[in-house]
Chains A and B, each alone.
Chain A
Amino acid sequence: MNEINSGKKILSLVLLIAGVVLMIAALWMDFTKTYLVINLGSTKLAFRGMFLVLGALFVLAGLYYIPTVLHHRAIINFIFLFPLLFTFAVTVIIPMFVGFFYSFTDWNGVSFSRMVGFENYAAMFKEPAFIWSLLLTILFVVVNMILVNLVAFLLALLCTTKLKGVGFFRAAYFLPNLIGGIVLGYIWQFIFSNVLTTILNSPYSALANTNTAFMAIIVVYIWQYAGYIMLIYVNGLATVPKDVLEAAQIDGANEIKTLFQIKIPMIAATFTICTFLTLTSAFKQFDVNLALTNGVGTVRNFMGSRLSNGTQMIALNIYNTAFARDQYGYAQAKAILFFIILACVSLIQVRISNKREVEM
């Protein structure tokens, strides 16, 4: 036992020292700008990054081998949490705070020259194109919250009957949800601009007009999303106890009465989940918007100006503000506003639904 422990002690010490030395070497190279680079013909091998990563790994391994019974659990906890917390911090937490700060500057993606206070936030509300995107998104969310849930619920009722082929129907209705929005968007662009014009024998594509193009996005979105929401309703309907339904039947309730007075109240929690899912996903709609219309569409007169982004929703507006117009600070301010709206709306939705569930 002692021998193992002393062996572990040496191993842990060596690893810890090697790790710290490697990390210090990497940092030293970083600060003094002495880059140890080996030329391998066409590719250059830089050691700085490798040193830092190897150093960190050595330190973790050294910690693992420390011969202590008392603190071993704590060390393991740290090592187990470290990878996910580290990636999470670098990809979500740090950018979140950095982004909040950048929304108050004239950031151009690389650097910023001055703080502008609330200028970015004020400018948004004077930009008709942005207001249009915001209102359009809200309309899109409201329409979809109703239509997707309605369609999905009807599909779920169909898929919980005792018909033959119900399994096939479920799989078929769910299928569009498997395919990414970009690919779907292009397929539907083809359908609207070629197939439907052939079937209806009309020279105009639905995508050429702002109003019909917006409806087209709604159609595609329902087509893609209803199958998924349907599955959740099917699952909810399956939890309604059979004896309750039988009791209702014996009491002489017809099918419609059973539906409205037993099934729907009993799956109130499922309705909450589904409205929440449709709400948040419709708000964030980006892929189909980009691939189907790319936000294009003429609006003749909105707040006194002519717009060319008639079908552009807020996520695409933020994207274009940053990447097409290079106004990163401004786009970031829009994104923060988007976040605030989304957070408020989802909190309100959950509140209202919870209250109603209790009442039922």
Chain B
Amino acid sequence: MKMKTSKAVALTVVGILLSIYILFPFVLVVINSFKTQAAIVQNPISAAGASFKQFATNLSSVINNKNFVFWHAFGSSAVVTVISLVLLAVFGGMAAWVICRNKTKWSTAIYMVFISSMIIPFQVVMLPLIATFREVGKFVGLGMNGTLPGLIFAYCGFGGAMTVFILTGFIKGIPYELEEAAAIDGCSPEGTFFRIIFPLLKPTIVTVTILNGMWIWNDYLLPSILLGQSNPNKTLPVAVQAFVGSFVKSWDLILTAALLAMIPMILVFLLAQKHIMDGMVQGAIK
């Protein structure tokens, strides 16, 4: 299947043009965060007026802004994402294993509830969620609304269904003989899971973690209603929203803030590009 050279050249040109179109907004963000507001308004496309000194000025005014508080927001996002992902992987693996290896009425019912809940849009549970969290928090005596543990708790609840769904599909393919052999050798059920099944789950855990991670890191609605715009522990997307709300048209600062919010994700992508792209596809196909 050799292609004619002229055709290959034409297709390559199309591909490059499309890449330019798709990457253009990112380039604009980078260029303009090196400029002053006046220079941006004058000509947003050219690099005229861009300097590292201006970038440093923009950067420091964004990072020290009291509505944005970049490092704090970054820390909150990182803590929430990492802890939620670890808990989802461990708890999800445990639940999926139990559901998969016990073919009783109960486990099938639980599995069906998990699957059917995946179609529920967030808007349906959004408002009663605040009320439920408030009541549960009052009853238990722990703050659930407005705290990071409450947010992590919510992510475990919302991410659980998809995690269990994907992991169950994988555990089904692990031969049961492995577990029987372990049991004969005197391994307890919990030991069987943590020593044999969980290590085997690793590739699927990576997929699940990527899917959940992209969702949790970029999620705006859940943290914005659970934490609130003025919460000191707000996550990055909420911080960007709060920051832009306070500066109506200061594009120099807004674009610098956008750049700061994008960099972590792009760095992760550059490091684990293949894993992320494969993970997104695997998650969708299952």
Residues of A within 8 A of B (CB): 26, 29-30, 35, 46, 48-50, 52-53, 72-73, 76-77, 80-81, 83-85, 87-96, 98-99, 102, 109-110, 155, 158, 161-166, 168-184, 186-188, 190-191, 194-195, 198-199, 223, 227-228, 231-232, 234-235, 245, 249, 273, 277, 280, 283-284, 286-287, 290-291, 315, 318-319, 322-323, 328, 331-332, 335-336, 338-339, 342-343, 346
Contacts and interface: CB of A to CB of B under 8 A. Distances in A.
28 contacts: A48-B141, A50-B141, A76-B190, A83-B94, A84-B92, A87-B160, A88-B114, A88-B117, A91-B129, A92-B117, A92-B120, A96-B120, A99-B125, A99-B127, A99-B128, A110-B131, A158-B11, A173-B19, A179-B261, A180-B236, A223-B22, A232-B284, A318-B123, A318-B126, A322-B126, A322-B127, A338-B121, A338-B123
Contact of B160 (A88, A184, A223, A235): A88
B125 A87 contact: no
A90 B240 contact: no
Contacts of B8: 161, 163
Contacts of A165: 12, 15-16
Nearest to B142: A49
B14 A83 contact: no
In the A-B complex, the 6 residue pairs with the closest CB atoms: A91-B157, A180-B218, A49-B141, A48-B141, A49-B142, A99-B128
A155 B29 CA distance: 25
A187 B18 contact: no
Interface string B256-280: 0010011001100100010011001
A161 to B, nearest CB: 6
Contact of B15 (A26, A29, A158, A315): A158
B206 interface: no
B281 to A, nearest CB: 5
A166 B240 CA distance: 34
Interface string B98-121: 110010000000100110010111
Interface stretch (B36-44, B50-58, B59-67, B169-177): B36-44
Place the interface of chain B in its size category.
35 or more
Contacts of B119: 280, 342-343, 346
A99 B240 contact: no
A173 B129 CA distance: 36
Contacts of B281: 231-232, 234-235
Contacts of B23: 172, 175
B154 interface: yes
B19 A85 contact: no
Contact of B139 (A30, A94, A171, A184): A30
Nearest to A342: B121
Interface string B111-155: 001100101111111111111110010011110000000000110
A203 to B, nearest CB: 13
B128 A190 contact: no
Given A182-B237, A183-B240, A162 B157 contact: no
Contacts of A184: 25
Contact of A187 (B110, B142, B237, B255): B255
B125 A95 contact: yes
Contacts of A195: 28, 44-45
Contacts of A190: 28, 32, 44, 251, 254-255
Interface in B167-195: 188-190, 193
B237 to A, nearest CB: 5
Contacts of A318: 123, 126
B265 A80 contact: no
Given A49-B140, A92-B158, A80 B266 contact: no
